[in-house]
Amino acid sequence: MGRRLHLPRLHIPLAIAKRLEWGRYVALAVLAGAALFLPRQGESLNELEPFKTAITVGFDRSWPFVAYAVALLAASAFYYKFFCRFICPLGAVMSLGGRLRRFDWLTRRVECGKPCQSCKAKCAYDAIEPTGEIRYDACFQCLDCVGIYHDDKRCPVLLYEKKGKVLTPKGVFNAGTGG
């Protein structure tokens, strides 16, 4: 609906988004602690996830639950995946996989970030640093950047290669001649 109504898409500066992302780890820690030590309260704390209200019972609940779910929907209408990125404890578990990974599986070029910022600008999850590195803990594995990487109409490195040129941090030069 947000897209259809052409609502503005808010952008949070990366430094602030990175801090807000810790919210999901806090949520995970609180839920895990409650499950271990306060199982009765844990059931209530599970209401942190709005899906029971929004989907299972179709908003047919008391107003605080409905207000919470509607507030999250509203936030998500203006900010892409607001709940998933900043609150979701399951998202925290999945992002731990990115933090604990043994290798980088998303292909990058030396030109990524230096100078090209195309994939960074296109990543809807802010999961690419200005340097071109992937933030695996924030990456949703949508593979948009992999699609761009292989697309000679969208990746400037391939685009210039087709024209016999090379993209470097200092500009675009003719391949072979360096001029």
Give the residues lining the site for ligand SF4 (CB under 6 A).
106, 109, 111-112, 116, 118-119, 123, 125, 127-128, 132, 134, 139-145, 148-149, 155-157
The torsion angles phi and psi of 134, rounded to 5 degrees, stand at -85, 135
Q: How many CB atoms lie within 10 A of CB 166?
A: 16
Query: Of 61 and 114, which CB lies nearer to ligand SF4 in the complex structure?
Result: 114
Peptide bond into 39 cis (omega under 30): no
Q: Which residues pair with 148 in a beta bridge?
A: none
Nearest distance from C-beta of residue 54 to ligand SF4, angstroms: 24
Query: Of 23 and 156, which CB lies nearer to ligand SF4 in the complex structure?
Result: 156
What tokens appear for 149 in the block? 């990487």
In terms of phi and psi (left: phi > 0; alpha: psi -120 to 50; beta: otherwise), the region of 143 is left
Query: Of 54 and 134, which CB lies nearer to ligand SF4 in the complex structure?
Result: 134
Peptide bond into 115 cis (omega under 30): yes
What tokens appear for 116 in the block? 């090209």
Query: Of 65 and 140, which CB lies nearer to ligand SF4 in the complex structure?
Result: 140
Nearest distance from C-beta of residue 119 to ligand SF4, angstroms: 3
What tokens appear for 102 in the block? 């043994």
Q: Please provide the distance, in angstroms rounded to a whole number, between the alpha carbons at the two ends of the chain.
A: 50
Nearest distance from C-beta of residue 97 to ligand SF4, angstroms: 13
Nearest distance from C-beta of residue 45 to ligand SF4, angstroms: 29
Query: Of 21 and 111, which CB lies nearer to ligand SF4 in the complex structure?
Result: 111
What tokens appear for 165 in the block? 């040129």
Nearest distance from C-beta of residue 86 to ligand SF4, angstroms: 15
